Each structure stands twice: as structure tokens, then as C-alpha cells.
Amino acid sequence: MARDNKAGKVLLVDDDWDILELLEYNLEKEGFKVKALEDSYQAISAAKEFQPDLIILDIMMPHPNGIEICRELRAMKRFEDTYIFFLTAKSESYYQEAAFETGGDDFIEKIIGLRALTYKVKTVLKRRFVIRKRVPELNIGELMINRRSHSVRIRDKEISLSKPEFELLFFFAQNPLKAISHENLLCNIWGSEIYMFDTSIDVYIDNLRAKIGDRFIQMTADRRFRFVPGIQW
């Protein structure tokens, strides 16, 4: 994880140099120390030397591709907890499944926009939020959230959630007691290029609260949201 007194270090690996330059520029502007690689063969040795707090991998690169690099990094103890994000033009579900099963923490489609990726990097390295979609299951009291099956249970009762509601709950559950803004939810779940009113996000949250119990997602005085665990269901 990033050090408390620094914004953190980011390793970029993509065979598209235009994307690398754009990402490098935007991340350095945010204060991050960045190392950009166009040659995936250098990724493992560069990671060992650079010791990044977060690694961004393209999937479709000449051997080794992003999935192979991620698998090799996760096999090393020093990179067990390092954030690994995938940035890819591939949107098919099996690419996402492979990314998470291999150890990727998030999967960002290039079509959604690079600003969303920059925002997510700031979210985890500066604001200390958690985005780890590789976690297969979260158990909080009697609430069980299974990412692989996209199922939610309270005690023995299964709760049916839409995909947006599930993603909201998963993000909330990984960041308990933190005040979360509409902007944070928009950029981390839908992407910064998606045009959505705050009221639309409110509708999703209202639906989620109706299904799991409204006392567990509270609104602060400045219209932020807070997930409150530890209450008996």
C-alpha cells in the first residue's frame, strides 16, 4: 500500500504508447511517481526494482500478457497486497473473470475513459478507500456477499439485487464507516465519463436500503453516505 506521507508509485504496462503517455501525464500531475513500460517483458523486473504501490496492466499484449504478468506477481509475497488494476479494450465477461481470478483488483474498460482510472488511483492511494474486486466473499455479521455468484444473503434469506445495487453494496462493505460522496460512487462504480444525476444514484441507494434495511446505509449532514456494520441484522 502507499505510504502515508506520499501519494504513491504507479507502474504502467501497455503496448499502446499513446495511452501510456496520457496516463503518465495525468498521474504525475496528481503527484504520483510513475514508471511507464511499453515492453511487457520488462514488467516483472521493473516491478521488483520500482516497488510500486499500484500496477496498471493492459490485458491484450504480446507474451507475456497482462493476465500472465498478474499471475506471476501474485505468486510473489512482496506483491500479494499490491493493487493491480486492468485497463483494457476488452469488455467480455470472461476477461473480467480471468482478471479477478488471477488477482486483479479492478477492471476498467478503455472505452469508459482514462479519467475514471486516474480517479480510482487517487481513491485508493490518496483517499485510502478500498477497491478489491478479487475478494470472492465478504461476511459482515449475518450479511454475506458473494462476488462470484453476485448473491447476497442476510441470515438464510437471499436478497435479490440488480447489478448496480450489488456494486454499490460491495463498495460500501469494503469501506465501512467512511463518508462516501456521490462523485466517489459515480467514478468508482460507473466511470467518470458516464453522465448521471445525483438523484439517479440516490434512487439506486434507496432501492438498496429498502432491500437490506435502511439503517445500514446512512446519509451524513453533507449528503454523503456511510455504511454502518456491526449492527444485529
Every domain of the chain and the residues it spans: 9-125, 137-227
Q: Has residue 165 got a pLDDT over 90?
A: yes
pTM for this one? 0.89
Q: Has residue 27 got a pLDDT over 70?
A: yes
| CATH code linked to domain 9-125 | 3.40.50.2300
Contacts of 199 by beta carbon, 8 Å cutoff, 6+ apart: none
Q: Has residue 197 got a pLDDT over 70?
A: no
DSSP string, 175-195: STT--B-HHHHIIIII-TTS-
pLDDT in tens, 93-147: 888 889 999 999 999 888 767 888 999 999 999 999 999 999 999 998 888 999 9
Q: What is the pLDDT of residue 104?
A: 96
Instruction: Give the pLDDT band of residue 192 (cuts 50, 70, 90).
Output: low
Q: What is the pLDDT of residue 63?
A: 86
Q: Has residue 90 got a pLDDT over 80?
A: no
| CATH code linked to domain 137-227 | 1.10.10.10
CA distance 11 to 56: 6
Instruction: Give the pLDDT band of residue 4 (cuts 50, 70, 90).
Output: very low
- The distance from CA 217 to its chain's CA centroid, rounded to whole angstroms, is 20
